Chains A and B, each alone.
Chain A
């Protein structure tokens, strides 16, 4: 399995344009941000004063980096990336070289795992760049950079950090699931990206459809189905990690029915687990039956 993982990693990292433009860009942007911000703070006394008066926490900087892969825009970027990885095998006709060498479920599963870990590594780098970079800038202007490292702080930080990383991993797997299904359908990178975007948009806009159905058919409770979508639950888990509270989502169906969704962390984690397992299972089952004709 290690060999299979390394083979997948070589392919993903070796596609420098794609990995660079869609994934490595984030730690690089973080680095660029630190450099530019440092220059501004260094050159402008107003900016320096403002920066000195603001509280900076390394825990917030490091964890804040994880917001991107879990928000809707970030998910679209991840989807493009995963679409290239899955659809590329069809477009480059490379499945025929791989399939006789290993079992189809293993080849698909390792793609999901490697993609997830690749994204996690990139955002770990980004969080390190932001955490350390802001620390350096704080030291340069002589302001405190808390919180003080204690056992409790570290334990708390490690818990939140692991949850955020797991959430980014989950977000990648879900994007990968959409991308894999789209790739199997279209067998081209562009087709895979577009079909994946369509699926993601449908998911994000499903609330509009549900509100319309609820209003027109007079079944307002149907909007509760939105609580089962990955997008809603990713944001909810993210909110639990960042704010220790549910991310509230309000929706109104007609004049009378007003709904506020604020689900527990357990509920959202369970829903996401079902999505991850479901998407991987469907992908593996379909791929096992698919004819590789190119």
Chain B
């Protein structure tokens, strides 16, 4: 059995336009996604997420670099894309055809038409009752569900989902997240999930790559990334004196009521000892785990500063 990663991207770059209109959408992007993972691809709008996905699906040609799926080059060995199901940048369909007919068109295009599979998927995404209705009458949420069904048509090993919860109400978003998680946990599918919704990535993904201005600025397991960014919240009196004492050893900030100290949980005894030794009264020290949202903003701002 092949041990090649589900996705291997090597120095991928894409430049659109020429001269003054030249835009570097993706720059030297490399990453690996291993089988069975739910991998988050996080970045603000215009960061290069969809361009990367389009190169991965052979919809656009990279200016430089290569993309591999299960060890096969997506352009040279196009047939490997039959192991991939994708929902790219909003679900789009033939509005004049019914949902069932749309799925039939996609299944036949991939040379794998099975009406029972179509029925099962329509049931699974909650569209069985409206399967004969023309898609042009569907809401955005219904189209997203149909998009997921289309992506799953040929029972792919790898699912690439670009902003899959766009246009859904909170309940619909929750359902889709559970659905995605179940696909990974129960069916062992690998999922590459692009989103600008940090909560979504945090709740669903095992690993995450943060992309900004076409470059990956951080990559790792979600838990590790956030753990590494834990900080302490310290309530002490007098606050100014506490800040003075701790500033020598750790980066700190204050909101006038407490101090935020960039230190690990293991350093709590040392923090308390230093404060007490200097005559500061300590009321509370708590570990604060940074949310992915805070982490993302920090990372993106750092990247902007370096540029």
Contacts and interface: CB of A to CB of B under 8 A. Distances in A.
Given A14-B101, A99-B59, A101-B82, A94 B94 contact: yes
A289 interface: yes
Contact of A4 (B57, B84, B96, B111): B111
B54 interface: yes
A10 B104 contact: yes
Chain B contact residues: helix, strand, loop or mixed: loop
B106 A6 contact: no
B109 A7 contact: yes
Interface string A1-13: 0011011001100
Contacts of A100: 57-59, 81, 84, 86
Contact of B110 (A14, A96, A101): A101
A55 interface: no
A224 interface: no
A98 B106 CA distance: 7
Contact of A99 (B57, B90, B111, B113): B57
A101 B86 CA distance: 10
Given A96-B88, A101-B110, A289 B61 contact: yes
Interface string B61-85: 1000000000000000010011010
B152 to A, nearest CB: 13
A44 interface: no
B280 interface: no
A95 interface: yes
A92 B110 contact: no
Interface string A85-121: 0000000111111111111000100000000000000
Contacts of A266: none
B269 to A, nearest CB: 55
Given A16-B96, A101-B82, A291 B109 contact: no
B97 A291 contact: no
Interface residues of B, number: 33
A7 B105 contact: yes
B260 to A, nearest CB: 43
B54 A292 contact: yes
B92 A93 contact: yes
A248 interface: no
Given A10-B104, A14-B101, A100-B84, A292 B109 contact: no
Of listed A3, A92, A101, A292, residue having the most chain B CB within 10 A? A101
Nearest to A98: B109
A95 B60 CA distance: 12
B68 to A, nearest CB: 15
B189 to A, nearest CB: 16
A86 to B, nearest CB: 14
A101 B106 contact: yes
A3 B105 CA distance: 9
Nearest to A289: B61
A92 B92 contact: yes
A293 B86 CA distance: 15
Closest 9 CB pairs of A and B: A101-B110, A7-B108, A291-B60, A3-B108, A93-B92, A292-B59, A100-B81, A101-B109, A7-B105
Interface of B: 54, 57-61, 78, 81-82, 84, 86, 88-90, 92-97, 101, 104-113, 150, 154
